[in-house]
Amino acid sequence: MEIRQVKREIRILGVDDAKFKRGRDEWTRLIGVVFRGGEWMEGCLQIPIRVDGDDINQKLAEMVMTSSHYGQLRVIMTRDTIFGGMNVLNLPILFQETGLPVIAISDSKPDMVRVKKAVQRICPNSWEMKYESLLKSGPIQSVKSRQGKAPIYIQWAGLEFDQACELVQKTATRSRIPEPVRIAHLFATSFVPDK
């Protein structure tokens, strides 16, 4: 899906993952919120994902494409590219599967040396595939945030860098983090795993 113009009320799905306890929880939840631009929330979605698993692309695509909002969605924004511990998202694959451009948002620049060591330690049997997915999600670029605040960092697939920057800046209405991702994070942190 091509974005020709970033409209004020463009439908965006913001995504983050819920809490979990490693060693106890096999599953956590992926939480999505549907926003019109950076102003109005229109819906909330959720789907389970496996902790340290390999199902994030399939589960996120399923959550998006089975939603009643799918026909109106134009962009997916995620909080980072790693969910549920070390369940690694591959942005180009998600774009291919859903037809929707994807932007991953980080509030600080990831230290890829530390990330690689963590993936090797936590997932010794599948670390190479997971790390390759991280690299395939493209370069990490800074984006100037609104009102001169500290930059944020993005990776993207399915749209041009300039369009990704415009979307990030237009939807960061209440903080330097785009509102769809900020609210998805708030919802996600409210989920407490079963004891």
The DSSP-derived string for 128-163 is HHHHHHHHHT---EEEPPGGG---EEEEEESS-HHH
pTM of structure: 0.92
Chain segment 132-166, per-residue pLDDT in tens: 999 999 899 999 877 667 889 999 999 999 999 99
CATH superfamily of 11-190: archaeoglobus fulgidus dsm 4304 superfamily (3.30.2170.10)
Strand order of the β-sheet with 152-157 is 40-50, 27-36, 11-17, 75-79, 102-106, 152-157, 141-143
What pLDDT is stored for residue 7 in this prediction? 65
The whole-chain average pLDDT of the chain stands at 90
Domain ranges (residues) in the chain: 11-190
Residue 173 makes CB contacts below 8 A (sequence gap 6+) with 37, 38, 39, 179
